[in-house]
Amino acid sequence: MAEGTGHLEPDAVEREQSPPNRVDRWLLNMLNQGCGEPDADIALWDVAESPATAGRPLLRITSRQALYRLLVKPELRFGELYASGELEVYGDLADLMERIYAGLRRATLAKGPLRHALERAMQRRARPNHLDGSKQNIHSHYDLGNDFYALWLDPDYMQYTCAYYPTWQATLAEAQAAKLEHVCRKLALKPGERVIDAGGGWGGLARYMARHYGVTVRSYNISREQVAYARERADAEGLGDRVEYIEDDYRNITGTCDAFVSIGMLEHVGLDNYAALGAVIDRSLTDKGRGLVHSIGQLSHRPLNEWIERNIFPGAYPPTLQEMLDVVSNADFKVMDVENLRAHYAHTLEHWREGFEANVGDIEQRFGAEFVRAWRLYLSGSRASFSAGEMQLYQVLFERNWSEALPATLSRLYRDP
Amino acid sequence: MAEGTGHLEPDAVEREQSPPNRVDRWLLNMLNQGCGEPDADIALWDVAESPATAGRPLLRITSRQALYRLLVKPELRFGELYASGELEVYGDLADLMERIYAGLRRATLAKGPLRHALERAMQRRARPNHLDGSKQNIHSHYDLGNDFYALWLDPDYMQYTCAYYPTWQATLAEAQAAKLEHVCRKLALKPGERVIDAGGGWGGLARYMARHYGVTVRSYNISREQVAYARERADAEGLGDRVEYIEDDYRNITGTCDAFVSIGMLEHVGLDNYAALGAVIDRSLTDKGRGLVHSIGQLSHRPLNEWIERNIFPGAYPPTLQEMLDVVSNADFKVMDVENLRAHYAHTLEHWREGFEANVGDIEQRFGAEFVRAWRLYLSGSRASFSAGEMQLYQVLFERNWSEALPATLSRLYRDP
């Protein structure tokens, strides 16, 4: 990690600290204003560690050094300092993040100069994705170990993407199965058809499609561990003859298909490659072919939070809906439907967080306390960013312009199974 | 009409024609190639008027002058020459147009030089819409007389926009009521809420909402005849206290609302004014407000067919979906759903055409033969352009980014009433 994020021992920090002075207090006030005076308490190191007051979360900055570093680059430093233990949160972390997002929104509406400075600081391009770079970017996140993800993802399909909740009472497993069903219905799959799945994760979508829709699926993924897991599981479930997992990049997809689907890959593709992805889809789809792209998105063009981009998803970028449409706008595809499932992702992340916390002892033993704090922040912060509208989740359904293979209404999505 | 489209008497034309020479035949061949060799016959004036051969429509060019004029500016001249009777069609006109569109698509894919020239000829900006211009543009089309439209629109709601067919067996009246219901459900209207309707036509949507959803509606329209009709009818149906029809431009909308709806107005707004429309919506909607914009669209940026723009819809432009999103992208709105109803518009236009032809005697008596031919071409050509994918129909649903007033799924759209 660049720029000296190695942290001091807490004891050493405590020893060398003098109590907050007037400059520290003035900076704290600036920070509070820059965040739009969020409905939360922000305290300095003179405040004893203490539980949050009723319903109001508390953020404690444990040292002068942490305060200074936070002010210089808040988007990056918040995550680093929280992961290292130099920021402490009392009360619910996701709740705190949501209150900060709400404050930042107010600050944006008020167009304060500090907020503008903060936003300028965030204007930074994600690193470009070339074939080798993509492989490295993906490895660092998805090859943490299948066992780790199995602790908190849904066991049936290991979906590491937004679920679909027919009602908020659905369990994570039900909602992930419902998501897969939703996607299959949107694509109007028919038995015997051929599907290409770009960025297939642990292979759950391909197995679902083969089992419930009688199609054959070729699923591409550049994560070796995921592909190994997917193959083993498909074989164990007797689906090995209908699903093929290919360890390769989407740019190397060959052959044709009746449906092209990509769930949660576009975030890693990089804007510069959208036209290339569109060309791959164009050369893959038959004349009656349909396509669906599912991706995290956002309302205006901004890089992903720098801390998440550096530490969790290297090279990731969530497109605006207009940018996302660039994937299909060069070829002769017509968009038939766009659905925003943002609230579903907030709910999914809450379920993941619950699963993560239920296994936090195991995880800490294996990866250490800093890893736990980083992941806690990532899951909580992501939940907050979907709840607060910092992030969206779009599914875009399309087909060839001259084709009418898709039914003229979406009633098929809401029929009982 | 500019540039001398007044037509010669047929007899005079016949007298002065020499039979087609080698240049004429070469030009006909060019025309055929430029249109991608459509699956239809194109004949010159030496071919006797005759019904089309089985299932294959015939286009007859009745004079050398017509052939030359057609070649110079086909997008404009086809309509003018058909309306004046100098082009004759044997067989089904919409069918012929669809075959020509299919041919042009093939020609585009083959990227022939004549097609490029044709496309360049079409690159022309629609006339800008200032407040006075808008009024004039709208008058020329919508003030033809309410009686004329009543002959072939659905009697209940006089909808001059795309209907929604739950099944293709639905009648026009059923499908227009279903469209209004579809829109109300998308907006999740609740009794007592306040709606603003921008470009309200003959007031059918406002009456439907007030009657079936218990809301109050303020409906803006700059067509005096339509507003007069709408007021009279709402009073007659006892809805006068819940709907208010205001003869004014969308830019002059005042007050706030829980739902902002605009069905078939954006086509007349002009790209330059999308941000202004977005600002009107932004200042009108409450914090829990929802919005829906319904518009004809297209896949790539091209002006409307010049003949239609000049003669039927002055100043009109169908946006791409990306351009359409410009309406909501400056304010803090999140798009929740986009639906493409293109096939429904082809069906609607077929129903309108049937109604028009069923009353063609009356219409010809009142407006003359050229008017009938022009409208026949407009209705048939529009049907063909939706069938062939030249045009799309988008409904965009949105709400404030931080609001979750809209339900998280669209299942409400498909429940029985």
pLDDT of residue B52: 67
Whether A337 sits inside 8 A of B334 (CB atoms) is: no
Phi, psi (degrees; rounded to nearest 5) at B59:
-105, 125
Residue B237 has pLDDT above 50, yes or no: yes
Residue B172 has pLDDT above 90, yes or no: yes
Q: What is the pLDDT of residues A209-237, one digit of tens each?
A: 999 999 999 999 999 999 999 999 999 99
Distances (CA, A) of A365 to A79, A329, B109, B212: 21, 48, 60, 61
First to last CA, chain B: 49
Whether A408 sits inside 8 A of B320 (CB atoms) is: no
- Six-digit token string for A243: 């699903």
For range B276-299, the mean pLDDT: 97
State the number of CA atoms in the 13 A half-sphere of B371 facing the CB. Answer: 13
Starting at the earlier edge strand, list the strands of the sheet with A87-90.
Answer: A41-43, A58-61, A87-90
**Is B343 an 8 Å CB contact of chain A?**
yes
Element (H, E) at A394: strand A392-400
What is the spatial distance between Cα B207 and Cα B213, in angstroms, rounded to a whole number? 10
**Which chain A residue is nearest to residue B405, measuring alpha carbons?**
A343
C-alpha B40 chain-centroid distance: 25
Per the CB < 8 A criterion, the answer to whether B127 and B315 are in contact is: yes
Residue A25 has pLDDT above 80, yes or no: yes
pLDDT of residue B118: 47
Least confident stretch, A118-122, A236-240, A318-322, B259-263:
A118-122
Residue B131 has pLDDT above 80, yes or no: no
Residues in chain B with CB shorter than 8 Å from the CB of A293 are none
Average pLDDT score, chain B: 88
Query: In chain B, pLDDT over 90 holds for what percent of residues?
Result: 66
Q: What is the pLDDT of residues B207-226, one digit of tens each?
A: 999 999 999 999 999 999 99
CA distance B170 to chain A (A): 13
pLDDT of residue B47: 86
Kindly list the structural domains of chain A, giving each domain's residue range(s) and its CATH number in brackets, ordered by start. 10-122 (no CATH), 131-414 (3.40.50.150)
Selected residue with higher pLDDT from A308 and A288: A288
Give the mutation candidate from A290, A338, A410 for the B interface (greatest B CB count, under 10 A): A338
Q: Would you place residue B115 in the very low, low, confident or very high pLDDT band (cuts 50, 70, 90)? A: low
Residue A50 burial by Cβ neighbours in a 10 Å radius (0-12, 13-18, 19+): exposed
pLDDT of residue A125: 40
Residue A119 has pLDDT above 80, yes or no: no
CA distance B182 to chain A (A): 11
Calculated CA dihedral for residues A341, A346, A347, A349, nearest 10 degrees: 120
Residue B141 has pLDDT above 70, yes or no: no
pLDDT of residue B143: 55
What is the spatial distance between Cα A71 and Cα B362, in angstroms, rounded to a whole number? 77
Element (H, E) at B216: strand B216-221
CA distance B234 to chain A (A): 31
What is the spatial distance between Cα B364 and Cα B342, in angstroms, rounded to a whole number? 30
3-state secondary structure of B149: helix
CA distance B399 to chain A (A): 11
Closest residue to B166, CB basis, from A333, A337, A409? A409
CA distance A367 to chain B (A): 36
C-alpha A338 chain-centroid distance: 19
Closest residue to A329, CB basis, from B102, B165, B322? B322
What is the spatial distance between Cα B172 and Cα B194, in angstroms, rounded to a whole number? 28
Selected residue with higher pLDDT from A415 and B107: A415
Least confident stretch, A88-97, A323-332, A350-359, B107-116:
B107-116
**Is A287 an 8 Å CB contact of chain B?**
no
Residue A340 has pLDDT above 90, yes or no: yes
How many residues are recorded in chain A? 417
The residue type of A127 is: R
pLDDT of residue A285: 97
Q: Where are the alpha helices (DSSP H) in A57-130?
A: 64-72, 74-84, 93-110, 113-122
Residues in chain B with CB shorter than 8 Å from the CB of A333 are 299
Which residue shows structure tokens 């402490």? A88
Whether A408 sits inside 8 A of B339 (CB atoms) is: no
**Is A156 an 8 Å CB contact of chain B?**
no
Q: What is the pLDDT of residues A247-299, one digit of tens each?
A: 999 999 999 999 999 999 999 999 999 999 999 999 999 999 999 999 999 99
Residue A198 has pLDDT above 50, yes or no: yes
Starting at the earlier edge strand, list the strands of the sheet with B87-90.
Answer: B41-43, B58-61, B87-90
Closest residue to A340, CB basis, from B105, B335, B339? B335
Helix pair angle (B113-122, B74-84), 10° resolution:
80
Per the CB < 8 A criterion, the answer to whether A201 and A138 are in contact is: no
Closest residue to B401, CB basis, from A333, A389, A415? A389
Closest residue to B335, CB basis, from A105, A321, A402? A321
pLDDT of residue B200: 95
Per the CB < 8 A criterion, the answer to whether B400 and B110 are in contact is: no
State the number of CA atoms in the 13 A half-sphere of A119 facing the CB. Answer: 14
What count of other Cβ atoms lies within 10 Å of the Cβ of residue A203? 26
**Neighbouring residues of B190: CB distance < 8 A, sequence distance ≥ 6:** B213, B215, B258
Whether B409 sits inside 8 A of A166 (CB atoms) is: yes
Distances (CA, A) of A384 to A119, A150, B205, B389: 19, 23, 38, 41
**Which chain B residue is nearest to residue A386, measuring alpha carbons?**
B402
Whether B343 sits inside 8 A of A401 (CB atoms) is: no
**Is A105 an 8 Å CB contact of chain B?**
yes
R_g of chain A computed on alpha carbons? 23
What is the spatial distance between Cα A316 and Cα B341, in angstroms, rounded to a whole number? 33
Residues in chain A with CB shorter than 8 Å from the CB of B105 are 332, 402
DSSP code per residue over B359-385: THHHHHHHH-HHHHHHHHHHHHHHHHH
For range A127-132, the mean pLDDT: 55
For range B127-141, the mean pLDDT: 54
First to last CA, chain A: 49
Closest residue to B340, CB basis, from A335, A342, A388? A335
The residue type of B148 is: F
- Six-digit token string for B251: 């830019």
Whether A329 sits inside 8 A of B401 (CB atoms) is: no
CA distance A298 to chain B (A): 9
Whether A105 sits inside 8 A of B402 (CB atoms) is: yes
**Is B168 an 8 Å CB contact of chain A?**
yes
Selected residue with higher pLDDT from B382 and B110: B382
Closest residue to B334, CB basis, from A325, A344, A392? A392
Q: What is the pLDDT of residues A152-195, one digit of tens each?
A: 999 999 999 999 999 999 999 999 999 999 999 999 999 999 99
**Which chain A residue is nearest to residue B330, measuring alpha carbons?**
A300
Which residue shows structure tokens 């199609």? A215
In chain B, positions 311-330, which contact chain A (CB-CB < 8 Å)?
Answer: 320-322, 325, 329
pLDDT of residue A109: 61
How many residues are recorded in chain B? 417
Distances (CA, A) of B283 to B20, B41, B96, B254: 63, 55, 47, 9
Distances (CA, A) of A181 to A212, A220, A272, A415: 9, 20, 31, 11
CA distance A280 to chain B (A): 17
C-alpha B334 chain-centroid distance: 27
**Is A46 an 8 Å CB contact of chain B?**
no
Average pLDDT score, chain A: 88
pLDDT of residue B133: 56
Residues in chain B with CB shorter than 8 Å from the CB of A337 are 337-340
Whether B322 sits inside 8 A of A332 (CB atoms) is: no
Whether A410 sits inside 8 A of B414 (CB atoms) is: yes
What is the spatial distance between Cα A382 and Cα A34, in angstroms, rounded to a whole number? 21
Residues in chain B with CB shorter than 8 Å from the CB of A350 are none
DSSP code per residue over A301-366: -----HHHHHHTSTT--PPPHHHHHHHHHTTTEEEEEEEE-HHHHHHHHHHHHHHHHHTHHHHHHH
**Is B102 an 8 Å CB contact of chain A?**
yes
Residues in chain B with CB shorter than 8 Å from the CB of A321 are 325, 335
Least confident stretch, A345-354, B12-21, B27-36, B230-239:
B12-21
Q: Would you place residue A304 in the very low, low, confident or very high pLDDT band (cuts 50, 70, 90)? A: confident
DSSP code per residue over B98-148: HHHHHHHHHHHHHT-HHHHHHHHHH--PPPP--HHHHHHHHHHHHTT-HHH
Per the CB < 8 A criterion, the answer to whether A322 and B338 are in contact is: no
Residue B197 has pLDDT above 60, yes or no: yes
**Is A135 an 8 Å CB contact of chain B?**
no
pLDDT of residue B4: 39
Per the CB < 8 A criterion, the answer to whether B118 and B34 are in contact is: yes
Per the CB < 8 A criterion, the answer to whether A36 and A52 are in contact is: no
Selected residue with higher pLDDT from A313 and A414: A414
Phi, psi (degrees; rounded to nearest 5) at A61:
-95, 115
Closest by Cα among A235, A233, A241 to A214: A241
